[in-house]
Amino acid sequence: MPCLTLYSRGYCHLCHDMLAALETLRGEFRFELKVLDVDADPALLALYDALVPVLSAGEEELCRYFFDDAAVRAYIVAATTGINPR
């Protein structure tokens, strides 16, 4: 099952929007989602401070600031089927 990580913060409306889009996508696909608060970890804060939200799959950044539906769907399809639709 694909694993996505959302780097976020509690008071960020763009972060809330991206999380909502991901939750909607769960109606179509199975994936694990980790939501990490950058303000809770100094190392994450140093990496992502003004860049959140950032959605990644391992080392691959899928989108930043705004949800990229096509990129996320393509990653999930490729991760689950081995077929890269890109």
pLDDT surpasses 70 at 18: yes
State pLDDT tens for residues 53-69.
999 999 999 999 999 99
Residue 11: helix, strand or coil by DSSP?
coil
pLDDT surpasses 90 at 83: no
Residue 81 banded pLDDT, cuts 50, 70, 90: confident
Structure tokens at 15: 């972060």
Domains of the chain in sequence order = 3-81 (3.40.30.10)
